[in-house]
Amino acid sequence: MRYAPAILVGRLTRFAARLRKAGGGSAVPGLVVNRIAPNYLKRTLSGFPQGLVVVSGSSGKSTTTKMLVAVLRAHHVDVFTNPSTANISQGLTSALLERADWRGRVPGEMAVLEMDEGHGALVMQGVDARVVTLMNVMVDQIDRFHDSEMVAGMLARIAARANEAVVINADDAYLDRLADKVRADVSVHRFGVSDAVLASAPRGLGYAATTVARVPEAGGVRLVAVDGRSGTIDDHGTHVTVELPARGIHYGVDATAAYATAKALLGERFDAKTAADALSAIPAVFGRGERVRVRDQDVDFVLVQNPASYQLNVDSIEPGTSDILFAIGSDVRDPSYFWPTDASSLGRVSIVSGSKAAEAALMLAYDGVEIDRVEPDLARALDDFLAAPPPASGTKTIVFSADSMRRTRAHLGLTGAE
Amino acid sequence: MTLTIVTLVPSLQNTNGDAENAAVLARRAAWAGLDARVVAVESRADLPEQVDAVVLGSGSDASLERSRGRLLELHDELRRWGTEGVPILAVGTGWELLSWGIERPDGTTVEGLGILPGRAVPRAGARVTEDLVVAERGSGRVLVGFENHARDYVGAEGSPLGRVRAGQGNGRGSGQEGVVMGEVIGTHLHGPVLAKNPFLADRMLSAMADRAGLTYEAGDQARAVDAYAESACRAQIAAAGVADAPG
């Protein structure tokens, strides 16, 4: 009963927010409930009978969370999870409200949550997790995360909330060091890639610092081969082949992380084949992003989140793609940290847009990319880009930061953020 | 002949993309019809025979000692370049390492290489991460960038890069930013400062060309790209609450 009034207010807020703007205002109810019932989030997260699992890190947490949920559900675990856009406090509370009954109780035996590395430490104050899985430390949003030490420190605080196990990417030097510091009664499970897989990544794995040696066969769950969309996981000598949602070593690493976490959670109940089937059933992702049908044409969306994903995603755009819209928004406070990337493979960009259009154009120009037009007004840029005749080669491609993605989706009337 | 721009210890000193200023110099040289290349120097063994300009970016505090160790291998060269007029751009912790030293809050010190006057000292408040707008000393031209540092800088009062219009700069109430000695510049202006402020790049390129017996004149492509820089700077100046446009 304790939370019934707050839940009611939260519901009314959501109703009001949706009247005002269809599909919008999703974080507002959470903001309201967090204000009038500050312990609701903490109590609810701590209340799942089979505990709370948290996935965090700079990159790959959304995909890994999705994969882990699929593997657990395939093992008949009733899982509550958050959409990837709701990984900070208000969004998380809103996501809980979506599923809560009138007393605020959320159904599910286990919660698996993707957690923003910056907000996670705060959200997790006073909340105990069963297992914490950490993906990596990458250079990201310098104005928010000043350097890699700061991100590693935030992840260490999240990891400290684990009371059963910590699952870490042992190829990441920051996380490897962090594993030495967990409490003695908390077990450490490692995952990583083999020498061969690392050698096949010409630009490395994108971590701020990579360990010198790889995880030995007996030391953890390893990604030992990636061939196109097929990945092979070596589970202490047992080889399991999974189909990945798209080409790319990082998807293989995500699958390996999900596999290792599920195994740590399920123990004896874990079945390698069930896990492999569930991982392989994750829907395919096109071109590192998503192919959508808008205004009677196919358009590829490519999301850029940090320098490592930027590089991977730009590299994956088919060379010669003639029509590219490139939009960087206000979420990138200062784009300096993107400068070490190389976008020369794009060759030419039709329109550079977003509130940071000039900064983006400057960076592309120094990469040797030709720019046809700079149009800071994203709505106008989108309209003109989509009204242009079909591309001479490839699919019309929109590369955007998270803020520009939201604005693009809103402008094109696309709902949902996943 | 080919102009050689070296970037020092980029594996440790490129947190904010500052080491990319070397590529900016090379690209602008190419746009001006000059041959130029960037050489990454991680240790003494990588050092090319001829060095026409030097870029040293910023790193994390955790790597200060390691970077210092690598730079010490090049101590003689750094001194010689500084005296001979080889343009050097040092940013953030890279600049701090070229100073007299870095004082930590616990009282310990990282000894600097003594190429630039002054030293980095603990800052009373939180780390500075904001837009930095500076009026250059002498020319009055506006320099725009982003600052991200945990320390102040003292001892540069005699020859700062410029006066702070918005942001913190060297701090401690000095109202100043950076330090300049001959062709050596130390600054808190992070990231692609030479792309954002092309007049500074062109000044370095002219000095390089003069020393090599060449002539540098910015190419047509540079002028087109500089228009992007100007829009980016205008937006940043407006966001920082400074009234006038870049000079």
Would you place residue A287 in the very low, low, confident or very high pLDDT band (cuts 50, 70, 90)? Answer: very low
pLDDT at A418: 40
Neighbours of A272 (CB within 10 A): 15
Q: Is the predicted pLDDT of residue B247 greater than 50, yes or no?
A: no
Best probe of the A interface among B20, B220, B236, by most A CBs < 10 A, is B20
Contacts of B16 in chain A (CB under 8 A): 142, 336-337
Least confident of A262-271, A283-292, A294-303, B152-161: A283-292
What kind of fold does domain A290-412 have according to CATH? Protein-Tyrosine Phosphatase; Chain A (3.90.190)
Q: Does domain A48-86+94-280 have CATH number 3.40.1190.10?
A: yes
Mutate to test the interface with A, among B12, B13, B16 (most CBs of A within 10 A): B16
Confidence tier at B95 by pLDDT (50, 70, 90): very high
Distance CA A33, CA A336 (A): 37
Domain of residue B233, residue span? 2-239
**What confidence tier does B135 reach under pLDDT thresholds 50, 70, 90?**
very high
Q: Which residues of A touch B191 (CB under 8 A)?
A: 334-337, 339
Whichever domain contains B81, its CATH number is 3.40.50.880
The pLDDT score that the predictor gives to residue A394 is 87
Cβ of residue A362 closer than 8 Å to a chain B Cβ:
yes
Which two three-digit tokens encode residue B171?
């701090």
CB atoms within 10 A of CB A65: 29
A361/B228 CB distance under 8 A: yes
Helix, strand, coil fractions of chain B, as percent rounded to 5 = 35, 30, 40
**Which residues of chain A have a CB within 8 Å of the CB of B127?**
146
Q: Tell me: the pLDDT tens digits for A56-78?
A: 998 889 899 999 999 999 999 99
Asked if A230 and A242 touch (Cβ cutoff 8 Å), the reply is yes
Contact status of A338 with chain B (Cβ, < 8 Å): yes
What percentage of residues in chain B have a pLDDT greater than 70?
Answer: 98
Residue type, A319: P
Query: In terms of C-beta density within 10 A (0-12 exposed, 13-18 middle, 19 or more buried), how is residue B62 classed?
Result: middle
Confidence of residue A288 (pLDDT cuts 50, 70, 90): low
Q: Indicate where chain A has its CATH 3.40.1190.10 domain(s).
A: 48-86+94-280
Measured between CA atoms, the residue of chain A closest to residue B28 is A366
Query: What are the C-alpha distances in Å from A18 to residues A50, A107, A352, A383?
Result: 33, 24, 32, 26
Query: What residue in B sits closest to A150 (Cα-Cα)?
Result: B60
Q: Is the pLDDT of residue A183 over 70?
A: yes
In a domain, B246, yes or no: no
Is pLDDT at B246 greater than 60 in this prediction? no
Cα distance from B21 to chain A (closest Cα, Å)? Answer: 9
Confidence check: pLDDT of B38 > 90: yes
Instruction: Give the residue on A whose Cα is nearest the Cα of B224.
Output: A365
Q: Is residue B210 part of a domain?
A: yes
pLDDT in tens, B113-134: 999 999 999 998 888 989 999 9
Across the interface, whether the CB atoms of B191 and A335 are under 8 A apart is answered yes
Q: Average the pLDDT over A281-293 and give the result.
A: 74
Q: How confident is the model at residue A7 (pLDDT cuts 50, 70, 90)?
A: confident
Confirm whether B66 is domain-assigned.
Answer: yes
> What's the pLDDT score for residue A13?
72
- Strand partners for A112: A53, A81
* A347 interfacial to chain B (CB closer than 8 Å): no
Instruction: Work out how many domains chain B is built from and give that number.
Output: 1
The sheet with strand B119-122 has its strands ordered as: B109-111, B101-103, B119-122, B151-154
Q: How far from each other are the two terminal CA atoms of chain B, in whole angstroms?
A: 33
A274: pLDDT strictly greater than 80: yes
Give the mean pLDDT of A182-206: 91
Is B244 a member of any domain?
no
Q: Where is pLDDT greater, at B35 or A208? A: B35
Residues in A closer than 8 angstroms to B196, CB to CB, are: 362
User: Rounded CA gap, B115 and B123, in Å?
Assistant: 22
Question: How many other CB atoms are there within 10 angstroms of residue A184's CB atom?
Answer: 5
- Over residues B203-223, the mean pLDDT reads 96
| B245 in a structural domain | no
Question: What is the token pair recorded at A164?
Answer: 């059963």
For residue A402, count other CB atoms closer than 10 A to its CB: 15
The two structure tokens encoding residue B86:
């080889």
Interchain CB distance below 8 Å, A336 and B190: yes
B75 is known as an active-site residue: no
Q: Can you tell me the mean pLDDT for A361-367?
A: 97
Task: Choose the catalytic residue: B75, B149, B188, B190.
Answer: B190
Closest Cβ opposite residue B16 in set A148, A337, A362 = A337
Mean pLDDT of B84-110: 95
Q: Which residue of B has its CA nearest to A148?
A: B60
Q: Which is more confident, B57 or A418? A: B57
Say whether B232 and A358 touch across the interface (CB within 8 A): yes
* pLDDT tens digits for range A9-58: 777 777 666 665 554 556 666 676 677 667 788 888 888 999 999 999 98
Q: What is the DSSP letter of A283?
A: P
Give the residue carrying structure tokens 């991982």. A279
| Ranges in chain A annotated CATH 3.90.190.20 | 290-412
pLDDT tens, position by position, A374-413? 999 999 999 999 999 999 988 999 999 989 999 999 999 9
Residues of B in contact with A339 (CB under 8 A): 17, 20, 191-192
pLDDT mean across residues, chain A: 87
% of chain A exceeding 70 in pLDDT: 89
Residue A97 to residue A102: CA distance in whole angstroms: 9
Asked whether the beta carbons of residue A149 and residue B60 sit closer than 8 angstroms, the reply is yes
Per-residue pLDDT at A86? 66
- Residue A417: pLDDT band by 50, 70, 90 thresholds? very low
Higher local confidence (pLDDT), A312 or B65? B65
The stretch A90-95 carries a mean pLDDT of 76
**Which pLDDT does position A147 carry in this prediction?**
77
| Over residues A237-246, mean pLDDT | 92
What pLDDT is stored for residue A143 in this prediction? 63
